[in-house]
Structure 1
C-alpha cells in the first residue's frame, strides 16, 4: 500500500486527448488507492502524468469528479462482467466459482483498482445506478434471484456472499494473507456456495 505509484509510460497524445485522459485516470487510481482522495492533490496527479494542472482540468472539472467517474466506470465494468458470467454459466456453482475467480483475478492483476473500489465505495455508492449492469451488488442479487431466492433474501445473501470475497481481500491488502488471492478462490467459492445453499434451503 505504501509503494510508490507506478506511473504509466507517456503515450502520444491523440487529437481527442484520449491518451492523456487514460494516463490521468491510471495515475489518479494509483494515488487514490495509496493516499486516499483527500490525501492526493491535483498537483500530485498532474506531476505523475507529466501535464500541467490546467491540462488536467480540461479533462476533469475537479479532483472529486475524477474520483467519482473512476469509481462509477470501474464499478460498472465489474458489474457488467458479473452479468456476463450469469448469462454464460448455467449451473449455480459454476456461476459462483466464476464470479469469485473474477474478483480474485482483479485483485491480483489490478490491486490499485481493487483497493480503490474497496476503500472508497462508501463515498460513491449513493451515485451507483440501480440496474445490475452498473451495480455489483444488484448484479450478484439478480444472479441469486435466478437461482430461486426471493428479492429480499437475494439482497441479504448477496451482501453476505460479497463479504466472503471482500474480507479476504482486505487481509491480503494488509499482508495478513500471503500469495495471490486466486490461490484462495476455491475456499472462498465453497464458503459462498454454503451461504447461498443455506439461503435457498433454510
Structure 2
C-alpha cells in the first residue's frame, strides 16, 4: 500500500465497517484511480484486497455499486472538511487560509480521494442522494470568493466563476501530479495558500 493510501482508510471507512470491507474500499480506490472503474474488475479488487469475490459481493451487489459507494463517501467527506474549514463567521482571509490548508493536507495525505472524485464527477454525482449532494465544493468556493469580492480582497477583473474553475482545476492537477510523483510529498500544505492568493489578488 502506498504512503498516501495508508492514510486513506479513515477517510473512506467508519467504525461500523469490518476489516474486510475496509480493505476492499481502500484497494478499490487505488485500482479505480490507477486503471479507471471500467479498467478494474471485481477479480482485481478481490485479489488486491486478499479476499474472494463472494466477500466483495457480501457488501456490494456489483462493481458499479462499490464505485458509487466510494464516490459518495469521498464526495461527502471532502465537503464536510471543506465546509468546516471555510465556514462563514470569520474574516475572508482566515477562511481562505483554513480552506487551502485543508485542501493542502488532503493533497499531501490522500490525493487519490480528490483524483477519484474529480475523474468521476460527471458519472456519479448525478446518482448521489439529495443529502449527499447537499454540500457542493464548487458552491462553497463560489460563496467564499464572492465574499472576498465584497470585501475587496478578491479581484473583480476575472469573474468569480472563472476563479472557481481556476482554483478547482489547480487542486485537481496538483492531485494528479502528486499521485504520479511529479511533485514531492508534503508540499501542498505550504504552497497552495500563497499560490491561490496570487491567483485571486486584486
**Divergent runs of 4+, >6 A:** none
What is the rounded CA distance, in whole Å, between the counterparts of 1:104 and 1:87 in structure 2? 17
What is the rounded CA distance, in whole Å, between the counterparts of 1:170 and 1:58 in structure 2? 32
What is the rounded CA distance, in whole Å, between the counterparts of 1:163 and 1:34 in structure 2? 20
1:12-71 Cα shifts (integer Å, max 9, x gaps): xxxx76333222211111111222211211111122233321221121111011111111
Secondary structure in structure 2 of the residue aligned to 1:87: coil
What is the rounded CA distance, in whole Å, between the counterparts of 2:181 and 2:201 in structure 1? 31
Secondary structure in structure 1 of the residue aligned to 2:86: helix
What is the rounded CA distance, in whole Å, between the counterparts of 1:48 and 1:42 in structure 2? 10
What value does the CA root-mean-square deviation take over the aligned residues?
Answer: 3.5
Equivalenced residue count is: 187
What is the rounded CA distance, in whole Å, between the counterparts of 1:106 and 1:17 in structure 2? 22
Residues 49, 168 of structure 1: alpha-carbon distance in 2 compared, 3 angstrom cutoff:
closer
CA contact (8 A) 1:83 1:139 kept: yes
Structure with the bigger RCO (C-alpha within 8 Å, sep 6+) is 2
Secondary structure in structure 2 of the residue aligned to 1:164: helix
CA contact (8 A) 1:105 1:181 kept: no
Residue number in structure 1 paired with 2:81? 81
Residue number in structure 2 paired with 1:168? 174
What is the rounded CA distance, in whole Å, between the counterparts of 2:139 and 2:166 in structure 1? 13
- Tell me, which stretches of 5 or more residues in structure 1 are unaligned? 9-15
What is the rounded CA distance, in whole Å, between the counterparts of 2:196 and 2:17 in structure 1? 43
Calculate the TM-score normalised by the size of structure 1: 0.73
